[in-house]
């Protein structure tokens, strides 16, 4: 079941083979201004379902060496934590925050290929979500990561969709 989201445009991309948009309603926010359009989908994996978040890099996402800038990769990872909570978890990622993010860069990112963060939930409690994953391009691993998201209590003042 597709759950609408109060902060993100989360709807099926027509002809998108199971992809859903994952972009903020407010186009002045970091995700939209810096990262560009993102899409996500649920995928089966050997240890359970995973969430794939994809961006298509542009020149603005590169460093002086012509490879993807580390900040671009870190931005994708942070956003992937929240997309994973929405796609796979019980919580709502809008009123949440990143408590911890650990990243190991293991390869250079090619700006000519889509960049995917493939994440899984390790554990979810009432207020915490533990996520791990890899940033990949085709069969190449660019980074590995783990993060902790703290879900915040709903105050009833969040916008509705």
For the stretch 41-98, pLDDT in tens is 999 977 789 999 999 999 999 999 999 999 999 999 999 999 999 899 876 656 789 9
The CATH H-level (homologous superfamily) assignment of domain 8-151 is Hotdog Thioesterase (3.10.129.10)
Average pLDDT across the chain, whole number: 88
- Cα 26 from Cα 49, distance rounded (Å): 29
Is the alpha carbon torsion for 29, 22, 83, 67 positive or negative?
negative
| Alpha carbon distance 136, 57 (integer Å) | 13
What's the pTM value of the predicted model, to 2 decimals? 0.88
**What distance in Å separates the CA atoms of residue 70 and residue 95, rounded to the nearest whole number?**
26
């Amino acid at each position: 079941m597709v759950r609408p989201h109060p902060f993100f445009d989360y709807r099926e991309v027509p002809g998108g083979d199971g992809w859903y948009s994952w972009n903020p309603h407010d186009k002045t926010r970091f995700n939209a201004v810096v990262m560009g359009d993102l899409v996500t989908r649920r995928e089966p994996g050997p240890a359970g379902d995973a969430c794939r978040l994809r961006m298509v890099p542009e020149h603005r996402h590169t460093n002086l060496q012509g490879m993807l800038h580390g900040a671009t990769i870190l931005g994708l990872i942070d956003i992937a934590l929240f997309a994973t909570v929405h796609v796979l978890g019980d919580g709502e990622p809008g009123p949440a925050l990143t408590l911890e993010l650990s990243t190991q860069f293991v390869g250079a990112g090619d700006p000519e290929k889509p960049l995917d963060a493939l994440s899984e939930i390790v554990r979810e409690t009432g207020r915490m979500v533990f996520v791990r994953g890899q940033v990949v391009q085709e069969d190449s691993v660019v980074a590995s990561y783990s993060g902790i998201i703290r879900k915040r209590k709903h105050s009833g003042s969040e916008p509705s969709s």
